[in-house]
Amino acid sequence: MMPKLYIQPLTFAPSPQSVEGPDEMPGAIRIAGTMCYAREFALIVRSNAGHVQNRQIVAAPDVAAALSRLPDPLIEDGERQWSNLRMAHVPLDLHFGDGTHRTVRLDQPQVMGILNVTPDSFSDGGTFDDDVETAVSRGVDMLESGAAIIDVGGESTRPGASTIWEMDEVRRVIPTVERLAAGGAAVSIDTRKAAVMEAALEAGARLINDVSGLQFDPRSADVAADSGCPVVVMHAPGKGDDLHAGAKYQNVVLDVFDELRARRDFALQAGVRRENLILDPGIGFGKSLADNLALINALPLFHALGQPLLLGVSRKRFIGALSNEAAADARLGGSLAVATMALDMGVHILRVHDAAETVQAMHVWRGLRDGALTDFSQMTR
């Protein structure tokens, strides 16, 4: 087992031109095709025993030279990660049953609205499970507020939740998926079961969001690959019914990075096209408060995996832990705080309960980013 390399963006600038490098080169690079620009990077070498054995801080113009001085086994992977960090991701291409298609751009952040049609989800369980009209109305409201995608789920994955029979899950989700898709919505199916994926795709869903990282159901990877749809692969430590079980981290950030890299490679080998693969670090799944905070603070590192990033932190338990144990439906402020920080770090898709409020925060963030670019160009005239 060889040492491993990680390239973590550390400090950011409002534009590439605002920080000059040598010979009038830009002193910051654009991260993952987003509106975020990084100027300094940590090159981290981890021993085969799992310990960080070297960490150096390198300015953007000097990264290529620093990589060339690494031990030979690390250079190729370092160059690949450096290329991934600068990669602009193509839009998600969603094909609909009537022959039309829609794209979801990834050069600007997008919002995925959460629609749980379950009796026991941690935040809104029971709100929409028995009333399709109410669920569809909620989905339409999120779309009208600016959400690009509606993520429909029929099984709670909160700690302690019971796994349900796949046909019960199908019964829960299909009426809502059908109605929203028929109205032209881009619908994602939030499931870890192949049969539910197949039924939802038949009903009009055009994305798959598997919180097990295609590990729970042996058929799910083939279904995801054959669908030709975008697929979200999330990190969770549990391999069976309980996705939160078995968590053991030596370094949570680097361990999750390694495990997501393995899930990425598995999905690609199964036939999921690279342009269709989205990664999610799985905040709250088998992770302590300290683990969650460490992962959120290190989010830019995950761009080195070369895939768009989705983040689901809305109303999560760690927000309550930092907010005098606020109830799940009273965590809007904390959810928006983390969402805005994620935008600063180049996250492409935010998966949220409060779509309208998050879209508004995102628009203000976008305005500030545009203003920073405009202000700099005016100051240099």
* pLDDT score, position 19: 82
Q: How confident is the model at residue 25 (pLDDT cuts 50, 70, 90)?
A: low
Q: Which letter does DSSP use for residue 89 in this model?
A: P
In the structure encoding, which two tokens stand for residue 296, read together? 């959120």
> β-strands 149-153, 52-59: how paired?
unpaired
Q: List the Cα angle 257/259/263 in 5-degree steps.
A: 115
The 10s digit of each residue's pLDDT in 173-220 is: 999 999 999 999 999 999 999 999 999 999 999 999 999 999 999 999
Mean pLDDT value of segment 239-249: 85
Q: Do residues 56 and 22 make contact, with C-beta atoms less than 8 angstroms apart?
A: no
Q: Do residues 22 and 46 make contact, with C-beta atoms less than 8 angstroms apart?
A: no
Indicate the helix (H) or strand (E) that contains 9. strand 4-13
Mean pLDDT value of segment 134-157: 95
Is 36 a residue whose pLDDT tops 50? yes
Mean pLDDT value of segment 290-304: 98
* pLDDT score, position 122: 45
User: 149 by DSSP, 3-state: which?
Assistant: strand
Q: Do residues 224 and 209 make contact, with C-beta atoms less than 8 angstroms apart?
A: no
Is 59 a residue whose pLDDT tops 60? yes
Mean pLDDT value of segment 283-296: 96
* pLDDT score, position 378: 55
Is 113 a residue whose pLDDT tops 80? yes
Q: Which residues are catalytic?
A: 316, 351
Q: Dump strand ranges (E) for 60-116.
A: 92-95, 101-104, 110-116
| Helix-helix angle 132-145:355-379, to 10 degrees | 10
Is 340 a residue whose pLDDT tops 70? yes
Give residue for tokens 């959400």: 147
92-367 classified as CATH 3.30.930.10: no
Q: For the chain, how are helix, strand and coil distributed in percent, rounded to 5?
A: 45, 20, 40
Is 287 a residue whose pLDDT tops 50? yes
- If one compares 100 and 28, the residue with the highest pLDDT of the two is 28
Is 233 a residue whose pLDDT tops 80? yes
Q: Do residues 127 and 71 make contact, with C-beta atoms less than 8 angstroms apart?
A: no
* pLDDT score, position 16: 78
Mean pLDDT value of segment 251-258: 97
Is 12 a residue whose pLDDT tops 90? yes
Q: How is the chain split into domains, by residue range?
A: 4-85, 92-367
pTM value is 0.93
Indicate the helix (H) or strand (E) that contains 337. helix 332-344
